Every structure is written in structure tokens, then in C-alpha cells.
Amino acid sequence: MKKLIGVLLSGRGSNFEALADSVAAGRIPNAEIAMVISNREGAPGIQRAESRGIRTRVIPSKGLEREAYDRQVVAVLHEHKVDLICLAGYMRLLSPYFVAAFPDRILNIHPSLLPSFPGLESQRQALEYGVKFAGCTVHFVDENLDAGPIVLQAVVPVEDKDTEESLSARILKEEHRIYSEAVRIVLDGKFKIEGRRVLRTN
């Protein structure tokens, strides 16, 4: 039986596309992206999913209380029997209700080496801080912002001539690579979580 992935996004959708490419190419074996949900109307990621023939749903979050909104999303994910949820540029914190509905089955990609630079504009934060290395993190999701046990990270150098755009592009390339790898590890089930540590098992 194929494992079903649900992707949640709010915008561009390049990480979603990287996952979809990896599924199509067999880099994430025995899996299917069952659906893409956006909390924002007009998210480019939704058009990208539609053009690949992947089921989409826009569930507008504006004006809704966090848990009331999450109950709608969780109901749709259950309805489609989703095994793993991938947040891919999803600009919302999840409620404890959502997290409890999918224990250790929600991943997020963040464009920094967590726990440095959580939140918005991480690449700009990294440049302004003056770090010499930046990167990205795939982690399990809990109800806190950009927290939860880390599955994979990748490091990129920060160059003197970097702008927010050039650094973001270098990081994004690594995001696309490690998100697929992390999804494969988690769907394989070849890991255990000890405290904050995600350890590989074989």
C-alpha cells in the first residue's frame, strides 16, 4: 500500500514541487501526494499542484480561531487517509489539537540551522547576525514555532557578497534535497525519537 502524503502550504510551493518530483522519480518510494491544502486563496503552490493533477483544497483561515480552523484541516486529512503531513511554506502555527491528531507524523522545512533564526525572514536574520554558515532544517512539528526534533539539516556557506536573495537561493536548493530525504526516512520508519534526538535505525 502506498503511503499517502498531505502537503500544507500558503505560497509559492517550490518545496511541494521538489517532493512531487522525488515521488515521481522514485526517490521517495511507495508514496503518493494525496492532496495539497492551502490556507490562502491564490497560493501559486495550488496552481502548481493542479497542473500536476494532484488533488487540491483551499481552506481559508482568515478570521478563524486556530483550533476551529485546524479541525477543518484535520478532518480533510483524515478523510483522505493521509499518513504523513509535510508543511511546505505553511504560514501558520498548528494547534495542540492538530499535533495530537498526527503524533510524529508532521514535518516542516525551515530555512535556517535551528535553533538559530526561527520565525520569519530567517535568511535575512542570518545575514544581519553575520554568521558564516547558514542552512536549513527538517524537523518534526509540535505546537511551538519551528521547534520539534530535528530529522536532517544541511549547511551552506555565507559569502561576503551575499544578498538575502542569493543566500536564500543557495539554501533553497538544499531544502529541496533534504526534504525529500527526510520524508523517505520517516516513511521508511527507520528512526526512533529519544528526547529531542531523531536516531536512525536499520
Q: Which is nearer to ligand GRF, 88 or 156 (CB)?
A: 88
Distance CA 41, CA 50 (A): 14
Where do contacts with ligand GRF occur on this chain (CB under 6 A)?
9, 11-15, 45, 88-89, 109-111, 172, 175
Question: Taking a C-beta distance cutoff of 8 angstroms, is the pair 88, 18 a contact?
Answer: no
CB of 44 to ligand GRF, least distance (A): 8
Q: Which is nearer to ligand GRF, 11 or 71 (CB)?
A: 11
CB of 45 to ligand GRF, least distance (A): 6
Four-CA torsion 176, 98, 75, 58, nearest 10 degrees: -50
Catalogue the E-assigned strands of the chain.
3-9, 31-38, 56-58, 84-87, 106-110, 133-140, 150-157, 191-194, 197-200
Specify the amino acid at residue 164: E
CB of 16 to ligand GRF, least distance (A): 6
Closest-CA residue to 42 (of 77, 5, 84, 11): 11
Q: Which is nearer to ligand GRF, 71 or 131 (CB)?
A: 131
CB of 168 to ligand GRF, least distance (A): 7
Which entry of 78, 80, 110, 176 is annotated as an active-site residue? 110
Q: Which is nearer to ligand GRF, 60 or 68 (CB)?
A: 60
CB of 148 to ligand GRF, least distance (A): 13
Distance CA 6, CA 25 (A): 18
Q: Measured at CB, which residue is nearest to ligand GRF?
A: 89
Q: Which is nearer to ligand GRF, 1 or 120 (CB)?
A: 120
Instruction: Give catalytic status of residue 139 as yes or no.
Output: no
- DSSP classification of residue 16: H
Question: Taking a C-beta distance cutoff of 8 angstroms, is the pair 1, 162 a contact?
Answer: no
Query: Catalytic residues, which ones?
Result: 110
